[in-house]
Amino acid sequence: MLLIECPWCGVRDQTEFHCHGEAHIARPLNPDSLSDEEWGSYVFFRNNPKGLHYERWEHSHGCRRWFNAARDTVTDHIYATYKPGAVKPEIES
Amino acid sequence: MSQDYRLDKGGRLNRSKTLRFWYDNKGYEGYQGDTLASALLANGVHLVGRSFKYHRPRGIYSAGSEEPNALVQLESGAHTEPNRRATEVELYEGLSASSQNCWPSVGFDIGAINSKISRLLPAGFYYKTFMWPGALWTTYEKFIRKAAGLGKSPTEIDPDSYDKIHAHCDVLIIGAGPAGLQAALHAGRSGARVMLIDEKPMFGGSLLTDSALIDGAPADQWVTKIINELKQMGEVTRLTRTTVTGYYDYNFVVANERVNEHLSPNRKAGGPKERLWKIRARQVVLATGAIERPLVFADSDRPGIMLAHALRTYIIHYGVLPGNRIALVTNNDSAYHSALDAHAAGAMVEVIDVRRNPSGSLIDRAREKGIHIHENSTISAVDYRRGKLRGIEVMQLSDDGKAVRGVPSDSRCDLVAVSGGWTPTVHLFSQAKGKLKFLDDQHCFVPGERAVNNQGFEAGACKATWSLSDCLKEGAIAGASAASAAGFESTATEDAPETEESVYGPARALWILPTDHPVGRGPKKHFHELHNDSTVADIALAAREGFISIEHLKRYTTTGMGTDQGKTSNLNALTVMSEIRDVPIPEVGTTTFRPPFTPLSFGSIVGHDRRELFVQQRKTAMQPWHNRNNAVYEDVGDWKRPFYFPHHGESMHDAVQRECLSARTSAGIVDASTLGKIDIQGPDARRLLNMVYTNAWSKLAPGRCRYGLMLNEHGMVFDDGVTTCLAENHFHMTTTTGGAARVMGWLEEWLQTEWPEWQVYCTSVTEQWAVASITGPNAGKLLSKLCGQPLDEESFPFMSMQSFSVAGIPARVFRISFTGDLTFEINVPARYGLALWEALMEAGQEYDICPYGTEAMHILRAEKGFIIVGQDTDGTVTPMDLGMDWIVSKTKGDFLGRRSFTRSDTARSGRKQLVGLLTEDPSFVLPEGVHVVEKLKDKPPMSMLGHVTSSYMSPNVGRSIAMALIKDGFNRKGSTLEVSLMDGSSHKVTVTDPVFLKSGNE
């Protein structure tokens, strides 16, 4: 079970959190201007890397806040957690 | 029988406390401090069970948690437990256990015929034989389950209680042998919070069976001294009888403490039977020791054959000498300890050593005692007859150790002890994603690189450190280093007490010992895996059939898949495969070690989370009334909702029909408190509603309500509900009962991650409001009575909300409808919910007000064609598929899911669409979920048009009604289709509009 640092609450057990997949996917500002392919890519397609992955997490059984985490999908090592809107940290993995 | 094999002295027993126990209904005696295994051996009982597959007689093979054979059914009735290892079951007064997997008795077992027909039961037998035809599996399964399997699971409710506890520490030390004790001492001295855990009833590990001196005194004294110092440290927690079963990410460790489990089920002591510890440690020190590795020879599975170190344990720790004439067979020096101890205890001892010219101090000492050593020899046959080991045949080995030569010499003995060296216990290290490395010179796997999140150290025999003084030194360093890594001041030193050392000579890399037939041929069997009855010949067969990957080998031969997880067999299986394939062992690989290290009881996993504590039950404020009035409940999420309210002797069907009729003809009342309710406030509240709903919210005036559909970005409906404008920047949103948390999460997700600059605050108020919904032609009159004002179309129009007192209770009243008839949803603070309900029931008497449940509620809405999200939709349905284009704004601009409407798949014609179905026979109610086809053919395949989503008998329509999602349904209205029923028959249906009842106008 992972230990995850909520940027607001501190370090907590994984059971308090939900993972919501890839982070840093902005909703298109003007969906009508997108081709079907572009919109489909926004709605359906996500990266599934082996290694470093930037993800969205929700402290669902805690403060209910969302945040981002940089996690290695192989080792489960979490390099950093940061608030939404913060700059994506550069990680050398 | 009275403990004929008990030594006059020795062992850590309380000999003043004689305990009586029963095994297979026969009475025996043992002492406090015994295990079931040691007590049975003290009484000369070796045969304790039958093997898994061939039903071969099997005996006690070890003295610890690695036991593959001596699995027993402990106790009977509600307290019974299967597959308990006799080597771990501590004896108590009145203990009763029985052998498993044999019928009618362990001595005469009908299943033993499997042994005679073993040629017909090769490895992979089940896979090969029962593959086809699949339909017959259910027939095979009954026989297989009966013939295989181990003990019997209990059929009564477990009367014991089980506990769970969370703990945090700086340094967790697993294993309290010499290395673990030293680690605890040195970590503890730094002031760190330390936990020391060991699976045995007392600390000491290998020192409990070692005659070595530490600082010139017996090891016991040193152990006591360390424990006393640890007791003085306030931050050190010591747990005995506690098995670490799993080591997970970020140093999360699960351990099972057997609190009262070693006592009689009739114990009076308080506290739980077992306690599951969930421990988060900064550093984990593994001092898990090692398990002796067997030698495999012809029929080496017979009762009376055990591991050499187990023999030593029984002598030193339990004061039992399990045989009088003992033959040790070994490829290394450590077995000589056992030989010397057995000799000192009075046994006649001989050693069969597979090595040429074994030499060294231990061997010299054995020779001095007159112990005969057969050099370069092996056991070529075992004489086991009439339930007893009677002797062995010894033969010379060929130069390569793969064959025997010369003539066999008979040797009488009643016990054989085997040693193939030691296998470090790396299970936990490997569970924690650590990489193992193979030591060629030691012939074993040891911990290599740790996983990045599971930091700590290893010490002692678990990393193939065999000498006592080295173990003591490593323990000190590991403990100090762990404390230091956890942020405590501690300097690692090789501070260790003085010990005397036995220097070991080299071992011979030979574990599978030959006989006069090639291995796998002839009548004798070489079992490398006792628990699951797997032989060396099975591995060869697996290799011949291409199952050379170690993961395939494991599953094909079931090696290591027993409840012992192959603790004694895995490395020998690897060795055999490595020889067959002629590749080094690391290339064969090793299977993944998985939790639990030893089996956990279900009780321990479940803990207190049973019966009413298993799932939280949510109850509305009105439930006391429902209880008093005979409600039958339905689970909706965690809620208990009244399903229907039967009158005395009334069937569900009759009750529901009555409730539906009453609600339409006079007045009905339903408890709607469970609907999700979200309070939304802020200047950007309308902006949020415009984005999450398909229709427009910019102009909704205070006091007005609007129905909305919520879509995900795929354009698919996922929730619906009515939202009301309370004030310019203040809204009251309702959701489906099951979707409340999901919708709340959905709003927060967008507000927090996409629109953080918007000023909107969402608060769940589901629990704060109790809701009674009254419906029917008399609903208005009833409410008028209780609020003291007339309620007409003009003063209180449809789709509006007003705040006033109802029966003296401050209320928000919504005139909205889920029945299609005049309805008022009366919201009051939850604490007034019951009072409101009772007042409505009393005032409603003159209108014969009828409380109705969820089933009637579903029928009433279906009569009007109203959808239930999650029943009539399934995540693939757009508003257009529901025929609800009217709710999709074409002008307000963007909202979630909108862009997906023009995706080719969403925009295409012929999608499944929601329609009504009327059966040919109006009294026939279609089962929900049945498939609809154009014309039923004799047999599949035929193209499915869709399925029935809702189906009821409607008393108000006067016939059965159904809703269905049908391909191109809108264009099929008026046409006749067929549904296929479970009994093979079919029924004709006509496609209609889903609004079945035209009366009622809301």
- Catalogue all structural domains in chain A, each as residue range(s) with its CATH number: 3-82 (3.30.2270.10)
Question: Does A76 contact B748 at a Cβ distance shorter than 8 Å?
Answer: no
Q: Hey, which residues does A78 pair with through a beta bridge?
A: A71
In one-letter notation, the amino acid at residue B998 is: K
Give B468's contacts (C-beta < 8 A, 6+ positions apart): B178, B210, B212, B214, B499, B501
Q: What's the pLDDT at B153?
A: 87
Partner residue facing A84 (CB), from B280, B433, B756? B756
Helices (H), ranges, B97-212: 113-116, 125-129, 137-147, 178-188
**Given this model, what pLDDT does residue B150 score?**
74
* Chain B partners within 8 Å of A39 (Cβ): 899-900, 903
Kindly tell me the sign of the dihedral angle through the C-alpha atoms of A44, A48, A54, A55: positive
Per CB-CB distance under 8 Å, the chain B contacts of A27 are: 754
DSSP structural state of residue B43? T
In this complex, the residue of B250, B749, B899 whose CB is nearest that of residue A39 is: B899
Chain B, residues 56-95, CB within 8 A of chain A, namely none
Q: B713 to chain A: which residues are within 8 Å by CB?
A: 42-43
Q: What is the 3-state secondary structure (H, E, C) of chain A?
A: CCEEEECCCEEEEHHHCEEEEECCCCCCCCHHHCCHHHHHHHHHCCCCCCCEEEEEEECCCCCCCEEEEEEECCCCCEEEEECCCCCCCCCCC
Structure tokens that stand for B377 in this block: 């020899």
Determine what percent of chain B is predicted with pLDDT higher than 70: 94
CA of B732: how far to CAs of B706, B770, B825, B827, in Å?
11, 14, 13, 11
Residues of B in contact with A77 (CB under 8 A): 452-453
CA distance, residue B895 to nearest chain A CA (Å): 10
Using a CB-CB cut-off of 8 Å, the residues of chain A touching B248 are 1
**B266 in reach of chain A (CB within 8 A):** no
Over residues B458-474, the pLDDT tens digits come to 999 999 999 999 999 99
Could you tell me where the DSSP H helices lie in B317-395? 335-344, 361-368
Query: Closest residue of A to B901, CA-based?
Result: A36
Q: What is the pLDDT of residues A15-61, one digit of tens each?
A: 999 999 999 999 999 999 999 999 999 999 999 999 999 999 999 99
**Cβ atoms of B208 and B266 closer than 8 Å:** no
How far is Cα B373 from Cα B367, in angstroms, rounded to an integer? 8
Name the pTM for this structure.
0.91
CA distance A1 to chain B (A): 5
**pLDDT tens for each residue of B769-812:** 999 999 999 999 999 999 998 898 899 999 999 999 999 999 99
pLDDT along chain B (1002 residues), means of 10: 88 96 96 98 94 87 96 93 95 94 67 65 61 59 59 90 96 98 97 98 95 89 96 97 97 96 78 95 98 96 97 97 98 96 97 96 96 96 93 95 93 97 96 95 95 96 95 96 95 80 88 88 89 90 90 88 90 93 89 90 93 91 98 95 97 98 97 98 98 97 98 97 97 96 96 97 97 97 94 93 97 96 97 98 97 98 96 96 96 96 94 98 96 88 93 97 98 96 91 88 64
**Residues in chain A within 8 Å Cβ distance of B756:** 84-85
Contact flag A26-B754 (C-beta cutoff 8 Å): yes
Contacts of B98 (CB under 8 A, 6+ apart): B23, B24, B25, B72, B73, B76
- How far apart (Å, rounded) are the C-alpha atoms in residues B630 and B644? 9
The burial class, CB within 10 Å (0-12 / 13-18 / 19+), for B701 is exposed
Domains and CATH numbers, chain B: 1-152 (3.10.20.440), 164-290+424-485 (3.50.50.60), 300-419 (3.50.50.60), 527-588 (1.10.10), 619-866 (3.30.1360.120), 867-992 (3.30.1360.120)
